[in-house]
Structures are given as C-alpha cells and as structure tokens.
Amino acid sequence: MTFQREMNALDAAISEFGGAAEDQLSRALDALVRRDAALAETVIAGDRALDAMETRIGRETAAMFTRRQLMAGDLRTVLAIIKIASTIERIGDLAKNTARRSLVLTAHPPLRTVSAVARLGRETMMQFSESLDALGQRDRDMALAVWRHDEELDNLYNGLQREIVQEMAADPGTVARNTQLLFIAKNMERIGDHATFVAEMAHYIVTGRHIEEKRPKGLPDGSPETLAG
C-alpha cells in the first residue's frame, strides 16, 4: 500500500471512530430524555467497540512509524491523530458515564431540569461534530470557529448549574436525582472541551502551528473572561 493510501485509510478510521462516538453520545442523550433503560444499556455495552477502534488506530499508526520515514508534515499529522483518537475515546467514556447515570434516573420520577441538560448535550454534540468536520476537511477556519465557540458552551453550562442548584433548594427531595444531572451536565462540558481540543489539533495539522490567541472561557456568573487554553 502506498503511503498516501495509508494516510487516507487513517483518515477514514478516525472519521469512523468519531462518528461512532457521536452516535454513542446521541443515544446516551436520547436515553436520558426518554427515560429508556434499555437504550442506556446499549450505550454502556457499545463502549467496548469504541475501545477496539482506538486500539486499531493505535496499531495502524505504530505500523506507519515502523514502515515509513515520515517527513515533518506527515509526522505532525500522525502524532495529532494519535492525540485525537485518545480524545475521542474519552468522549466515548463520558457518553457511557452519562448512560449509567441516566439508568439511575429512570427508577425515579422525572425532573424538570432534564430538558435543559439535554439542550446543553445537543449543543455539545454539534461542537464535536463540527470539530470532526474541520478535521476531515482540513479546514483551519472552521477549526478556529469551533475553538472560539467553547465560551458559549461554558456559559450554557454555568447557567444550567445555577438552575439545577435552584431546583434543589426549592425541592430538597430532588437533591439526589439532580446531583446525577449535575454530573451529566459536567460530562457535557468536558465533552465540549474535548471537542475544542480536536479543533485545535485540526488547526495544527493544517497550519503546523498551535492557535496563538488565548481561548475565551465563561465565568460562573456567565460573563466572559479570556484564559489561557
């Protein structure tokens, strides 16, 4: 197989891996909203397939190092894809964790705050999808736009935290269930951070440079602050 075909196969593998993680996240959110224990169980079981995909990508990249003397640009791409694969695996783990927590919630009366958590999840999923698009298309402008959007996700998450805490204060009987939702919301915020990292790596693959500007982050009160990466 020629080197270019190997690179194309690696791109296809990372695209498939990312798509599988997207599907896991989507089904985890559906399980939460629908209170569907069976669907949550399929997400938990499906994590093994994601682990296998990461292992396969690891083997393929290791083989490329063995067979090829990679030039600077190609070496940069392969190393970035190794990091991206690890990040996608973490997103899959967070989807699995979300499904496990939704299982706890199905055994109890529904919460008003679930819909707000699901909205955050959908925004996060869009962020992840767009980061994968930027990677697949080698589009540095798209990657930068995804990277900058992280502040909006932070603000959504911070606002949601306040809403859930207020719900706990208003009805102490919901504290245990809303605590599960707080963990799920944190999962979504972390997935947003991982999606941002994928966008950073996509930008790095195209340009050979890390994004120099400081990444804007939302503060707990919803106001913007510029913090380092």
As beta bridge partners, residue 217 has 225
The gap between the terminal CA atoms of the chain, to the nearest Å, is 39
What's the CATH number where 104 sits? 1.20.58.220
Q: Quick one: tokens of 11?
A: 């791109």
* pTM over the 0.85 mark: yes
Report, as an integer, the average pLDDT of 191-208.
95
Cα–Cα distance for residue pair 28/223, rounded to 1 Å: 30
User: Is the backbone of residue 108 left (phi > 0), alpha (psi -120 to 50) or beta?
Assistant: beta
The continuous run of DSSP H or E covering 223 comes out as none
Cα–Cα distance for residue pair 76/229, rounded to 1 Å: 20
Residue percentage of the chain with pLDDT more than 70: 93
Report, as an integer, the average pLDDT of 186-194.
96
Cα–Cα distance for residue pair 148/141, rounded to 1 Å: 11
**133 contacts: CB under 8 Å, gap ≥ 6:** 139, 142
Please check whether residue 44 is in contact with residue 99, taking contact to mean a CB–CB distance below 8 angstroms.
yes
Taking CA 216 as the corner, what is the angle to CA 211 and CA 222, rounded to the nearest 5 degrees?
Answer: 165
Residue 92: other Cβ atoms inside 10 A: 29
Is the predicted pLDDT of residue 21 greater than 90, yes or no? yes
* Range from 17-21, 165-169, 216-220 carrying the lowest mean pLDDT: 216-220
**84 contacts: CB under 8 Å, gap ≥ 6:** 14, 135, 198, 201
Is the predicted pLDDT of residue 69 greater than 90, yes or no? no
Domains: count for the chain: 1
Is the predicted pLDDT of residue 200 greater than 90, yes or no? yes
Is the predicted pLDDT of residue 210 greater than 80, yes or no? yes
Cα–Cα distance for residue pair 164/218, rounded to 1 Å: 18
Cα–Cα distance for residue pair 203/151, rounded to 1 Å: 18
Give the domain range for residue 183.
Answer: 3-226
Report, as an integer, the average pLDDT of 10-23.
96
Name which residue leads in pLDDT, 13 or 217.
13
Taking only the tens place, the pLDDT of each residue in 143-180 is: 999 999 888 999 999 999 999 999 999 999 999 999 99
